[in-house]
Amino acid sequence: MSTNHLPKPTAVVFDLGKVLLEFDYGIVARRLAAHSGRDAEQIRGLLDQSPLLLRFESGQMTNEEFFREVSGLTGYTGAFEEFAGIFGDIFSAIHPMIDLHAQLRARGVPTFIFSNTNELAVRHIRANYPFFAHFTDYIYSHEAGAMKPDHRIYEIVERRTGRTGAELLYIDDRKENVDAGAARGWRVVHHQLPEQTIAAVRAAGLV
């Protein structure tokens, strides 16, 4: 996208999954299947973008309620803490994007996490990915009670960042999410490949 005519953004808002960290619910499905005797693909269907996961990630269920529901549906017989470790351990680093974040921080650019996620995932990421401690603030769907692309969670981002419109540069892999940001006047990058996103951030004059 052409950015030459726009003012330089003053903060960068990052989606988390598929932007900074890859994730695969197939991992948790296989591990739960080993503890339950159920088919891994059936378990994956219960979790990946499912109504159950959407309820959890929009703050309508506690960790324990989600655990009980998944256990009942899958036949999983382990304890909660074991489940929490299995459920959270689905991520792998996207190093060029993590490096981009480090460059932005080194230049003093405020950075924010803006994610449809859950407390179990955040707990695991905080414990295992040191880069995650170095954002200015974090806006999570499970705390906000709304999920992207709902306008309410975008309003929370604007309040927490203290910025609106083209002051914000927003990076997300889902088109409906960046479209919702663009509709508010945010500068957006539809993330597909790290090199393309890095080039867009560079074109905005931030690195």
Of the candidate CATH numbers 1.10.150, 1.10.3470, 2.60.120, 1.10.1740, the domain formed by 25-88 belongs to 1.10.150
Residue 2 has pLDDT above 60, yes or no: no
Average pLDDT rounded to a whole number, residues 61-73: 96
CATH 3.40.50.1000 residue window(s) in the chain: 11-22+92-203
Query: Which of 58, 80, 54 minimizes the C-alpha distance to 67?
Result: 80
pLDDT for residue 8: 93
Whether 10 and 3 have beta carbons less than 8 Å apart is answered as no
Query: What is the average pLDDT across 76-99?
Result: 96
**pLDDT > 70? residue 28:** yes
Name the fold adopted by 11-22+92-203: Rossmann fold (3.40.50)
pLDDT at 1 over 60: no
What's the rounded Cα separation, in Å, for the pair 55 and 128? 25
At residue 7 the predicted structure's pLDDT band, cuts being 50, 70 and 90, is: confident
| Numbered ranges of CATH 1.10.150 in the chain | 25-88
Instruction: Give this prediction's pTM.
Output: 0.94
Q: What is the pLDDT of residues 143-194, one digit of tens each?
A: 999 999 999 999 999 999 999 999 999 999 999 999 999 999 999 999 999 9
Name which residue leads in pLDDT, 109 or 77: 109
Residue burial 37-51, b: 16+ Cβ < 10 Å; e: rest: ebebeebbebbeeee
Q: In this model, does residue 62 exceed pLDDT 90?
A: yes
**Residue 126: pLDDT above 60?**
yes
